[in-house]
Structure 1
Amino acid sequence: MRSFKALGDFDQQAREFVITDPHTPRPWINYISNGEYAGVVSQTGGGFSWYLDPNQHRINRWAPANYLNDRPGRYIYIRDPETKEVSSGTYAPVNLGERYECRHGLGYSKIKNRYNGIQTTTTFFVPEKERMEIWAVEVKNTTRSPRTVEVYPFLEWHLGVWETELVVRNLTVLMNEGYFNDRLQAIWVSKFPLGNKPWPFHAYFASSLPVEGYDVDYESFIGPAGDYAHPAALAGKGCTNSRVRGGNMVGALKHTLTIPAGETKYFTVLMGLAEQEDEALATIAKYREPAAAEEAFRQTKRMWRSLMDRVMIDTPDADLNNFVNASLKYQVAMNNHWGRSATYYHEGHGEFGFRNTAQDAWGFLPLDSDYARERMILLAKHQRNTGQPMAGWSYVTGTNEGKAPADFPVWLPLLVSAYVKETGDFKILEKVIPYYDGGSDTLYQHVCKAMQFLQDRAKSERGLPLMGTQDWNDAFDRTGIGGKGESVWLGMGLCLGLKMLEELAQQLGDQPTVEECRQRYDAMRSLINQYAWAGDRYVYAFNDKGEPVGSPVNVEGNCQLNSQTWAILAGIPDAEQLPKVLHHIDHTLATPYGPVLFAPPYTKYNADLGRITAFAPGTKENAAIFIHGGAFKIMMDYSLGRAEEAYKTMRQIIPNASDKDIDIYKAEPYVFPEYVVGPGNPRYGEGAFTWLTGSADWFFIAVIQKMLGVQPSFDGLRIDPCIPAAWPEARISRRFRGARYDIRILNPDHVSRGVREIKVDGELLKGDVLPIFRDHSVHSIEVILGVG
């Protein structure tokens, strides 16, 4: 077994993951983003960038198989003018290096590579409130003699709609135009209208160094064979000063540096978008100045550090600390910036979905409640006046008016309830927000209507929620396509949503809604137990033919994780049913990597269920170890006070667990994948589809609110830790309603749960809810667990 530490490790103080070997089993990537402009950067410079929507405004090229070949990217070619030997400052694509390091940080990636006495360090980042990125480059002569080298910053342009280019690239490249703009002293590229729809931007590629040569034509620089490791231009005389009108485009600039022994030359490379030439001129002029670029980098680091520092943990588990204190929170932030599109694995469609946005904002609440508030209001605006949410939206193309997945209404109560508990802002419930299709209502009524839609408009003849095109499990996409299929899981989600709405109504003194929620909850719980209890487990769904999914009568997929965990979260099983449900969770569905989404996997295609049965066994939703499902399971464990079982699953699913074999796991050890390949597949244990997954949101909340027990409530922070009994103590520091709470949890009796006493600034507290200070001060909290 080989640990990930053979390839890199966390630098906790710097909040970076440091990769020391470029030959990772998969590209290990990072995001550079300000929420509007973003890029993905691999450990060797691979990746791509976009603005607002990764489908509509893709800037540089990326191929769907990029997670395997990691080409192309952002490169700095280095050529010795005497020997003509070529290397790369980012290691790839030439793949020559004697000393290498990549530091993936919060909002930046820094790649250092030394070869033949020349060390290049390139820091990639996106300044705040700009639609561009900066490559801050340092070239150091590590020898004892002066050196002259040629430096060639390089990228390959895409420009515009990514999906269209994939299908008809032979046509779309004929709309390209690019040349060297003398006024800007930069490469200036654009795309002529496609379907009478102009692409609204020009893109530029500039440097702070004098430009001695350039290329825009792909074949002139790379060559017809398309070998990034051996560009044709660098095998010859260098750049050819080519331009393009109708062809594949690159950006390549030539600079010559003469560097005294032991000294370093610094310059910036600038890539971005502008609507007009004057806009580009101002931005390029600003960041050609080293001081401006350096200050922008400092601001980026300060902003991210300030945000991430709002919650910090310190437990006896160093792996958990490393993961939570930096990369997990940053993963939650990137979920909020980009939903589920634009990774090395996902297609980059560019839309935000209602479910994902709600979960992401919920997970981000402890870090940035103002941002979460904006997303919450945006979600309410994307709701019809019936209470049904819209399918999704893009910053560029607007709202998707297609049919939304059936579960979308469940997620608004989750976010609104959590927001009020986090902030204490009850007035937000009175805010009048328009519906997408006309009319308006208070936010509170938006929540009420979401629940009413599920109960009254989207139910079957038996009273269970209709599956529609899909519920949370998108891959059951034919299970209810005929309009009769039922989602039992969604009935459980409805019960949970009703509990949250009941809480809100109670706080507002809305007694009729309180009573209605209780009655409807009891009715749905009864229906679920009547139709979906299969003797020892809960059925997940019924297809259009009325056949059960996740039942003992099924040969495949007969035990489903989510319908067991959510049943418990919603309080569905009674005392006799609960042990049977837990037995399946703890045994039938258990693996060393965490629980599978269901068992056994589907091996034959079933048109009555959908694409879930087309996926290879153990991949995606077909019985993979879906990390989101594992996070649901952890939350369920904590709801029952099962500290040891929850912690065991945490250790199984965290990406940096010290007992993971990185040659099997392959994926980044610092962020969650969407899933780990499950049993029944030869790739069992491999992480896949990393970064943009709601698993990060749920896990983050589970750690800080359930394990460490610091729970926002309407009245303040409620303290109820549920930690492994072996832990002698743990700490958490977090901001809450205008103050910082430094909380130390002591466990002298080695129990898992049960608060014996709480002291606030040395004074004994009555009860378990901390005072609300709003004084912008730090308050010391001591929590002692134990009996008595």
Structure 2
Amino acid sequence: AYAQWILGTANGNAGAFIVSSIDAATGALLARNPWSTAFPGRVAFADLGGAQTAHTADRTAFLGRGGSTAAPAALAPRQPLSGATGAGLDPCAALQRVVELAPGQSAEVVFFLGQCESAETASALVRRYRDVDLDAVLAEVTGHWKDLLASVQVRTPDRAMDILLNGWLLYQVMACRIRARSAFYQSSGAYGFRDQMQDGMALTFARPEGTRAHLLRAAGRQFPEGDVQHWWLPHSGQGVRTRISDDRVWLAYATATYVAAAQDPAVLDEVVPFLDGPPLLPGEHDAFFQPMQADVSATLFEHCARGLDQCLELTGAHGLPLMGTGDWNDGMNRVAQGGQGESVWLGWLLVRTIALFAPLADARDPARAGRWRDHAQAVRGALEREAWDGAWYRRATYDDGTWLGSKDSEECAIDSIAQSWAVLSEAADPQRAATAMASLQQHLVRREEQLLLLFTPPFDQTPRDPGYIKGYPPGLRENGGQYSHAAMWAVLAFAKLGEGGKAAELFALLNPINHARTPEEAARYKVEPYVVAADVYSVAPHAGRGGWTWYTGAAGWMHRAGMEGILGIRREGGWLLVDPCIPAQWPGFEATVNLAGTKVAIRVDAPSQRGRGITGALLDGAALPVSGDGVRVALDGAAHTLHITL
């Protein structure tokens, strides 16, 4: 067994300081970085179940000078491991065990790798797992994931959709985004204020208690003025205070979404302290520091309200929210760095957030609720008056008032999120919203390359400086490639328009499984086909190549797009709601829901070939009323069958 110790941000920074030793009690190989300020005192360990017969902590000796893991020098015949430990080595953990097998015989080798608070706790953990039944431990872990992922299991005419919805998407959200907050391309372990907030919304159906806990965690990273740490390191509290504009709105949006899904208004009365730290200076875009906990605390409702209040204060000349040093698209950090540029997309998000959150304020602070509604109405008017470009909505204005995302823009002429959120906000003129989505489909969907672009054309030659986004080559990542997070919003928008066929078509186009069905497709895509990639390149010779995988908020939104948008399965407290919007050519689908001790076997038939509009429903053989939001089934702890006809 072999592992290279990093115990820091990179081998070049930390390797020279790592000290290794052998634990006298267990024989496990230990390693620590005494110069680590982030995780002082922690000790890593490696063990072969106590069966190791040789070891080395010297990577150079194990691999050989200029060698690699493809052919380590220490594995050459009659080449023993050196047994070296201590300081000043190129650090690794290499453990050897001799196994002799007769014909047909097998043996199990257990490699145990981890880290603890101290050498004593590491030694105790090694001893513990040498003695336990590892098959039982594995069964326990497997049971945990089955319990989470089996909350909804679906069977549709699209087998690739089933595979993602029945496990992989929620696994990606929980394992990578919520727990690890780390992947090959992103390994900080930090929380992003808006990032995990959106991930948590995907878990509200199956694990609402987890969503609730994170709302309170995130509220605790807010300053009294209403702005927040854009991201923070949980072990120290260090983070960055910025002028990025959408963070302050997402808290209210996510909270209102959670309250509606979990029917838990009591969370609004939970008291959470603010942070105390220096405000940004004039002209200062961001500052990284470790804030202190403020003496001031407030309810979650007040935290949400302060974020909205500050967004209302930051309104530009056109009546739209100021963009700051980025809205959802961090890469557009210089579009409005002077404090004058405005964001159309943020206008849609703000209007929708107020529609969701203001009802929660009616009993708590009616004056505020009224002020928010008046402002939302004004923003809605400004969006239609200022942002409509004839066939789609513009994206933003630069500080000097020049429009971005306009037919007159040589680059970034149309941006997808201004169109999808015109629909998701439920605030745009219906005819314009439909036209905007048709424009999105015409200009941004590339079926032959299986791409849904963020915007087009990419930034390249424009004399204007939109931000670091222009530093990416045209067609890569946010710069005119497919940015999957935004693409999922388009799927949801088509479903909300009642276009189940278009929504399912885009879901299939974005599904990573469909990017690697043949050896040729896999060679082009180049990344894992079972998790969502944050981006897919759109320009030759790399068109169709997957980029940053695993660590992306697209996974949570894709799960919601499929489950809530297309299949129409969602939760409101103690009720299961079903209101499908499927392709007209689908004969129907089946689903099994396991929630709160309740099991509901759902069958949807669509003989009308319309794909939406419930014409009849039977619960356990008895007629079930149909309302404007579909049918409702009580989560009463019993087993039920639900038959829906479209």
- Same fold flag (TM > 0.5): yes
Residue 294 of structure 1 corresponds to which residue in structure 2?
135
* 1:488-527 Cα deviation digits (max 9, x unpaired): 2111111111111134346x58655554343222100111
Is 1:312 matched up with 2:160? no
2:227 corresponds to which of 353, 368, 388: 388
Q: Closer, same or farther in 2 for the Cα pair 1:218/1:576, shift >3 Å?
A: closer
Contact 2:422 / 2:433 at 8 angstroms: preserved in 1? no
> Residue 389 of structure 1: CA displacement?
2.4
Give aligned pairs, total. Answer: 620
AA of the residue aligned to 2:182 = A
- How far, CA to CA, are the matches of 2:463 and 2:470 in structure 1? 6
Q: Closer, same or farther in 2 for the Cα pair 1:608/1:197, shift >3 Å?
A: closer
1:779 corresponds to which of 607, 619, 640: 640
Q: Closer, same or farther in 2 for the Cα pair 1:490/1:771, shift >3 Å?
A: closer
Is 1:596 matched up with 2:443? no
Alignment of 1:292-691 (within 5 A): 292-338=133-179, 342-346=182-186, 348-403=187-242, 405-437=244-276, 438=294, 439-456=296-313, 458-505=314-361, 512=367, 514-592=369-447, 593-604=450-461, 606=463, 608-657=465-514, 661-678=521-538, 680-691=539-550
Contact 1:594 / 1:630 at 8 angstroms: preserved in 2? no
Residue 51 of structure 2 corresponds to which residue in structure 1?
210
Q: Closer, same or farther in 2 for the Cα pair 1:674/1:434, shift >3 Å?
A: same
> Residue 386 of structure 1: CA displacement?
2.7
> Residue 286 of structure 1: CA displacement?
1.6
Q: Secondary structure at the match of 2:353?
A: helix
- How far, CA to CA, are the matches of 1:607 and 1:555 in structure 2? 11
Is 1:156 matched up with 2:11? no
- How far, CA to CA, are the matches of 2:52 and 2:229 in structure 1? 50
* 1:372-417 Cα deviation digits (max 9, x unpaired): 1111111111122232222222221214142152111222233212
Q: Secondary structure at the match of 1:486?
A: coil
Is 1:180 matched up with 2:28? no
Residue 49 of structure 1 corresponds to which residue in structure 2?
none
Q: Closer, same or farther in 2 for the Cα pair 1:198/1:599, shift >3 Å?
A: closer
Contact 1:605 / 1:614 at 8 angstroms: preserved in 2? no
Gaps of 5+ in 2: 277-293
Contact 2:475 / 2:537 at 8 angstroms: preserved in 1? yes
- How far, CA to CA, are the matches of 2:428 and 2:178 in structure 1? 38
Contact 1:604 / 1:613 at 8 angstroms: preserved in 2? no
> Residue 669 of structure 1: CA displacement?
1.2
* 1:87-143 Cα deviation digits (max 9, x unpaired): xxxxxxxxxxxxxxxxxxxxxxxxxxxxxxxxxxxxxxxxxxxxxxxxxxxxxxxxx
> Residue 461 of structure 1: CA displacement?
3.7
Q: Secondary structure at the match of 1:251?
A: strand
Percent identity, aligned pairs only, is 26
> Residue 272 of structure 1: CA displacement?
1.4
Contact 2:491 / 2:503 at 8 angstroms: preserved in 1? yes
> Residue 430 of structure 1: CA displacement?
2.2
> Residue 185 of structure 1: CA displacement?
0.7
- How far, CA to CA, are the matches of 2:601 and 2:256 in structure 1? 25
Contact 1:562 / 1:632 at 8 angstroms: preserved in 2? yes
- How far, CA to CA, are the matches of 1:610 and 1:539 in structure 2? 18
- How far, CA to CA, are the matches of 2:225 and 2:167 in structure 1? 41
> Residue 602 of structure 1: CA displacement?
1.6
- How far, CA to CA, are the matches of 1:468 and 1:589 in structure 2? 26
AA of the residue aligned to 1:157 = W
Is 1:234 matched up with 2:75? yes
- How far, CA to CA, are the matches of 1:522 and 1:186 in structure 2? 66
Contact 1:709 / 1:720 at 8 angstroms: preserved in 2? yes
- How far, CA to CA, are the matches of 1:735 and 1:181 in structure 2? 46
Gaps of 5+ in 1: 1-152
> Residue 251 of structure 1: CA displacement?
0.9
Q: Closer, same or farther in 2 for the Cα pair 1:276/1:565, shift >3 Å?
A: closer
- How far, CA to CA, are the matches of 2:149 and 2:338 in structure 1? 46
Q: Secondary structure at the match of 1:504?
A: helix
Contact 1:673 / 1:689 at 8 angstroms: preserved in 2? yes
Contact 1:740 / 1:777 at 8 angstroms: preserved in 2? yes
> Residue 711 of structure 1: CA displacement?
3.0
> Residue 654 of structure 1: CA displacement?
0.4
How large is the RMSD of aligned CA atoms in angstroms? 2.3
Contact 2:352 / 2:427 at 8 angstroms: preserved in 1? no
> Residue 644 of structure 1: CA displacement?
1.1
> Residue 571 of structure 1: CA displacement?
3.4
Q: Secondary structure at the match of 2:100?
A: strand
- How far, CA to CA, are the matches of 1:335 and 1:505 in structure 2? 35
1:719 corresponds to which of 578, 586, 594: 578
- How far, CA to CA, are the matches of 2:254 and 2:360 in structure 1? 12
Please identify which structure carries the higher strand content: 1
> Residue 736 of structure 1: CA displacement?
4.3
> Residue 728 of structure 1: CA displacement?
1.4
- How far, CA to CA, are the matches of 2:642 and 2:523 in structure 1? 43
AA of the residue aligned to 1:667 = V
AA of the residue aligned to 1:784 = T
* 1:419-441 Cα deviation digits (max 9, x unpaired): 22222222222222222234222
TM score, norm. by length of structure 1: 0.75
Q: Closer, same or farther in 2 for the Cα pair 1:411/1:461, shift >3 Å?
A: same
- How far, CA to CA, are the matches of 1:434 and 1:315 in structure 2? 46
TM score, norm. by length of structure 2: 0.91
- How far, CA to CA, are the matches of 1:491 and 1:344 in structure 2? 34
1:272 corresponds to which of 108, 111, 114: 114
Is 1:248 matched up with 2:90? yes
> Residue 780 of structure 1: CA displacement?
1.6
Contact 1:616 / 1:681 at 8 angstroms: preserved in 2? no
* 1:179-207 Cα deviation digits (max 9, x unpaired): 3333221112222325x777321111112
Contact 1:558 / 1:600 at 8 angstroms: preserved in 2? yes
Residue 116 of structure 1 corresponds to which residue in structure 2?
none
Contact 2:272 / 2:299 at 8 angstroms: preserved in 1? yes
- How far, CA to CA, are the matches of 1:529 and 1:398 in structure 2? 41
> Residue 473 of structure 1: CA displacement?
0.7
Contact 1:389 / 1:404 at 8 angstroms: preserved in 2? no
Residue 551 of structure 2 corresponds to which residue in structure 1?
692
- How far, CA to CA, are the matches of 1:710 and 1:647 in structure 2? 15
Q: Closer, same or farther in 2 for the Cα pair 1:251/1:741, shift >3 Å?
A: same
> Residue 579 of structure 1: CA displacement?
4.6
* 1:522-544 Cα deviation digits (max 9, x unpaired): 10011122222223221111112
AA of the residue aligned to 1:674 = A
AA of the residue aligned to 2:436 = V
